[in-house]
Structure 1
Amino acid sequence: MAPVFELGDPVNLPLIGAACLTLYVVGTIFYRLFLDPLRSIPGPLLWRLTNLPRVYHTLKGDIHVKVGELHKQYGPVLRLTPYEVVFCDPQAWKDIYGHRVGNVPEIPKWDEFYMPNTDLPRSVITAPRKDHAILRRQLSHGFSDKSMREQESLIKVYVELLIQRLHENAQNGAASLNMRDWYNWTTFDVIGDLGFGRSFGCLEGSGYHPWVKLITETFRESSVFQSLGHLGLRWVVKYIYRSGIMDKNKENLNLVSETLHERIKLGKERPDLIDGLVKKKDELGLDFESLVSNANLLIIAGSETTATLLTGATYLLTTNPDKLAKVSEEVRSTFKNDQEITLTSVSRLPYMLACLNESLRQYPPVTSDIPRVLPKGGATISGTSLPEGTVVSVFQWAVNYNPQFWKNPLKFAPERWLDDPEYKDDQQDAMQPFSTGPRNCIGRNLAYAEMRLILAKILYNFDMSIDDSSRNWALNQRSFSVWEKPPLYIHLTPVAVKSG
């Protein structure tokens, strides 16, 4: 019998390559199913074997919905990728993002998500623990309750301009106004003045600054970069960024850079949101690119998310007219005139606050996960022991709609936030729209201040009804960390001004 191979026979490299690839794939599948430390965590078979399904739904813009469906099928602990476990449990918020006890270090952020492009400078949201504490300390004063009260007159100027412009365009409800745009223009003008000493002129001109549109495009582009990070292709992200193939992030940072240059050239101290970093940039060792990165974060967090929540709240109220009537009556019976509505006095509107909280539950401005990676030694999350290197997170959307934590989660019910006995079993700590722990959202006070003042002013001045073209506004919306919102058309009818 002749030998299969003889010395000197040509080597069939394609065949050997195919055999090696087959062995690698089969070996990987065997390991992930039978040997991997995460093998006991439930999840769809394909998702446990590869991260491609996760990447697909991220790029499709419906990963938040898909994760909610998978939690209902597989339970509160879900293996979303070969290396990733997501939780749908209030305790997970504390275990993953909360303050650590004693000398136990904070669970670090996962750089493949937060920093897929290593060419970009870090900000307070992406900085390592030590740098984060320093940056946050310098920014915290500008976001305090005291600072918000000091800035009230400035904020009020733009809110009153909004009301003026809405009166000019309302036409007694005959025409419908795109409230998505009006809210975006208002919050963008406010953050421009609070952060950089000047408005962007959106309300004055009733039009978009090119920057506003660019923000949404930047998030969509960033979802591509994050997906490549999940695939371990950060070098591809760097190449794409440097080559200019996808340039929305770069274009956005260039606009921030120009605005920040103008802010620094003002030549005087101004108690704005960026002031703490500008004054101590040399002491903190911050170069100009780092200032730009932090300023960019302030613009996005201080405008897009607040405008999104107000748009969602307006949709939910106008599609639930009984709730709208109740909150309108609360506002109008509390104040004798428009000028009585201030950042302080809106705290006397418990039902309106409940409406905003319920809107945060049903339409959270940020839908994506905020992943962390377990350090050496691993950790126990919600009673589940996981090894080091595991990526862990909570999806806000999934936990907000889970019937285990909310009675009738699809129902818009502000009463659940007002100790209504019907909702006594709701677990309100399941909702963390501003995250929790040492890295919770620093802009929470500003967001609540703005949205309460803006909504109260609108409810006092106008009756609202939704245009038929927007009745399915929330249906099948895509999200790339933040929502890709279509126009929201609302009819506004001015309310007769009270005398006295």
Structure 2
Amino acid sequence: MSTTVEVPPGLFSVLQRASISGVITSVLVIVVIRLIARAFYRAYFHPLCQFPGPKINAATRIPYLIAAFKGNLVPFAGNLHRQYGDIVRIAPDELSIIDPQAWKDVHGHGSKGSAGSMPRKHWHRYGKPVNHVRNLITCKDDDKHMRMRRIFLPAFSDRALRQQEPLFMKYVNILVKKLYGGIEEDPNRKWDMVRMYNFTTFDIMGDITFGEPLHMLEGGEYDPWVSMIFASVKFGSRIGIINWYPLLYKIFKALVPESFAKKRYEHFQHSVQRVTKRLEKGRDSEGVDLWDLVLKQPEGQGLSRGEMDSNSSLFMVAGTETTATLVSGLTYLLLKNTAAMKKLNEEIRSTFANAEDMHMDSIAALPYLNACIKEALRLYPPVPVGLPRLTPPEGSTVCGVFIPPGTTITVPHKVMYTSEKNFKDPQSFIPERWTGEDARFANDNQFALQPFSYGPRDCLGKNMAYHEMRLIVAKVFYNFDLELCPESEGWTEQHTYTLWEKHPLVLKLKPANSEGMGSKE
């Protein structure tokens, strides 16, 4: 005789829920224990535990990612270096270094006799072009990178820049005429000089890269393509945070609408279409632009079409926004340091009797202008953060210290340039530190300033950038007296998303020659 025990339905449901709850609780406990154990290992037993820094930063990447999301990586790293020294552990597997020797050991060719090999670019931290063809920045293979660099080198040589001088002059003169015209219409008009400088640099680079400008100076508005570039910088910087969490990244990719990928593709197609249009002109196009020189390569030894598209898209960001950023920053710093601005104005206006005497070579010979630009690059570098490098499997020796394998290293520009260990009165704008006129700065480590990076992968267009910056500043300050409007006080207090998130730089302008508008230009 058998008996059947009936379990009340309500009790079965309770037991089932209790079983599921127990499983979830067990899983959560295991996860928490694992996280605690990993954090403890990172803080006290990880190969990087010998390097100074907050234990919370060693245990978890969260403080770093919060700073990156908020655009506060510069003060984040700066505070840590002031507290802990030249080499700081800012994340579980990442070091930040502000010893100037790091330029040679991390970005250069390394030190002779040092243990290990040179760190390489941390490719996981760099995006890929839409067409999946590597450009000068993202190319992993050193031989391929050098091949591309050699092809582009003639286009950025001093000889090429002299040939392109009329092109630079054309757009800077348009900028000056636009400013004069606006003042004639309204002497009290307020100008956002960030916009005006951006219009100028994008029109110049558009002509150099594609054989025609973007017509932003002419139209007085941002090209939609350029607006998309600006919007993508901040968005891309924040989205990059997800890459640290593979599961979140997979979820993000699954949830991202197709329209997002489509917009990215359409944005890249702007470059493709412009390159196509330029190539159809061949080498007999008017003027001397980048392609006139690149297309001279023997058949079969030049760039592939994919490399042309990828690099042209790169140039339209790297050769535009950064130049306008420096000129904007220098303008603000001069306005906040009236003695320096007066000295610069005297140098420019006493050197040239009229605007027609102003040429790239003669402007390049102005010592105080060069000093002002260097000081602006120090206090307001267009790329203020460090670009990540990764130590190889055998590790690397940096600044005399062995760095274990698989360590990310960054050399942050802004933090290095404003360290008291490298520069006296580091937060002050003092161009004289670069002229040799003031003995107070004899011990400044001038090698620390490397705003265009250092070594075999430094910025190919730095000479072009210097000429363009000098020309824009010289022309504007020769023709106008500038006044900072109250709404732009504290302008340099900005967030960073790889680049500075700039506010409008609101100024009033009046002709430097009171005898009549346009008499100087």
- The TM-score, its normalising length taken from structure 1, stands at 0.91
More deviation in 259-268 or 187-196? 259-268
Deviation at 1:16, TM superposition (A): 3.5
Deviation at 1:105, TM superposition (A): 5.9
Aligned letter for 1:113? Answer: R
Deviation at 1:154, TM superposition (A): 1.2
Deviation at 1:100, TM superposition (A): 3.8
| Kept after mapping to 1: 8 A contact 2:126/2:138 | yes
| Kept after mapping to 2: 8 A contact 1:214/1:248 | no
Deviation at 1:35, TM superposition (A): 1.9
Deviation at 1:230, TM superposition (A): 3.5
Partner of 2:139: 127
1:24 to 17, 23, 34: 34
Q: Where do 1:345-384 residues align within 5 Å?
A: 345-384=362-401
1:163 to 155, 165, 176: 176
Partner of 1:265: 280
| Kept after mapping to 2: 8 A contact 1:241/1:247 | no
Deviation at 1:331, TM superposition (A): 0.4
Aligned letter for 2:136? Answer: V
Partner of 1:298: 315
Aligned letter for 1:254? Answer: Q
1:200 to 193, 200, 214: 214
Deviation at 1:85, TM superposition (A): 0.8
Partner of 1:228: 242
Structure 2 residue 420 is the aligned partner of structure 1 residue 385: no
Partner of 2:62: 52
Deviation at 1:242, TM superposition (A): 7.4
User: 2: CA distance between counterparts of 1:17 and 1:125?
Assistant: 43
Structure 2 residue 163 is the aligned partner of structure 1 residue 154: no
Q: Deviations over 1:70-96 (max 9, x none)?
A: 111111111111111110110111110
Distance change (3 Å), C-alpha of 1:384 and 1:260? same
Partner of 1:6: none
Partner of 2:7: none
Give ranges in structure 1 of 5+ residues lacking alignment. Answer: 1-8
Deviation at 1:18, TM superposition (A): 2.4
Q: Deviations over 1:238-269 (max 9, x none)?
A: 65777344766444313222222222222345
User: 2: CA distance between counterparts of 1:281 and 1:86?
Assistant: 44
Q: Where do 1:249-288 residues align within 5 Å?
A: 249-268=264-283, 271-274=288-291, 283=300, 288=305
Deviation at 1:491, TM superposition (A): 1.5
Deviation at 1:173, TM superposition (A): 4.9
| Kept after mapping to 2: 8 A contact 1:117/1:238 | no
Partner of 2:225: 211
User: 1: CA distance between counterparts of 2:263 and 2:301?
Assistant: 29
| Kept after mapping to 2: 8 A contact 1:162/1:182 | yes
Deviation at 1:478, TM superposition (A): 1.2
User: 1: CA distance between counterparts of 2:251 and 2:134?
Assistant: 19
Q: Where do 1:307-346 residues align within 5 Å?
A: 307-346=324-363
2:464 to 442, 446, 453: 446
Partner of 2:4: none
More deviation in 483-492 or 325-334? 483-492
> Match of 2:320, SS?
helix
User: 1: CA distance between counterparts of 2:253 and 2:506?
Assistant: 40
User: 2: CA distance between counterparts of 1:266 and 1:243?
Assistant: 35
Distance change (3 Å), C-alpha of 1:16 and 1:239? same
User: 2: CA distance between counterparts of 1:58 and 1:141?
Assistant: 37
Deviation at 1:20, TM superposition (A): 2.6
Q: Deviations over 1:35-62 (max 9, x none)?
A: 2110111112221111122111111111
Deviation at 1:276, TM superposition (A): 5.8
Aligned letter for 1:463? Answer: D
Distance change (3 Å), C-alpha of 1:286 and 1:450? closer
- Structure 1 or 2, whichever has the larger Rg, is 2
Partner of 2:11: none
Aligned letter for 1:258? Answer: Q
User: 1: CA distance between counterparts of 2:235 and 2:329?
Assistant: 23
| Kept after mapping to 2: 8 A contact 1:216/1:484 | no
Structure 2 residue 108 is the aligned partner of structure 1 residue 98: yes
- The TM-score, its normalising length taken from structure 2, stands at 0.88
More deviation in 251-260 or 374-383? 251-260
Structure 2 residue 54 is the aligned partner of structure 1 residue 36: no
User: 1: CA distance between counterparts of 2:466 and 2:263?
Assistant: 29
Q: Deviations over 1:277-307 (max 9, x none)?
A: 6666983696544432211111111110000
| Kept after mapping to 2: 8 A contact 1:462/1:493 | yes
Partner of 1:136: 149
More deviation in 356-365 or 289-298? 289-298
RMSD across aligned C-alpha pairs, in angstroms? Answer: 2.6
| Kept after mapping to 2: 8 A contact 1:86/1:395 | yes
User: 2: CA distance between counterparts of 1:118 and 1:248?
Assistant: 11
> Match of 1:283, SS?
coil
Partner of 2:73: 63
Distance change (3 Å), C-alpha of 1:324 and 1:246? farther
Deviation at 1:485, TM superposition (A): 1.0
| Kept after mapping to 1: 8 A contact 2:295/2:302 | no
User: 2: CA distance between counterparts of 1:265 and 1:402?
Assistant: 51
> Match of 1:405, SS?
coil
Partner of 2:9: none
Partner of 1:84: 94
Distance change (3 Å), C-alpha of 1:380 and 1:234? farther
> Match of 1:434, SS?
coil
Q: Percent sequence identity over matched residues?
A: 35
| Kept after mapping to 2: 8 A contact 1:114/1:226 | no
> Match of 2:492, SS?
coil
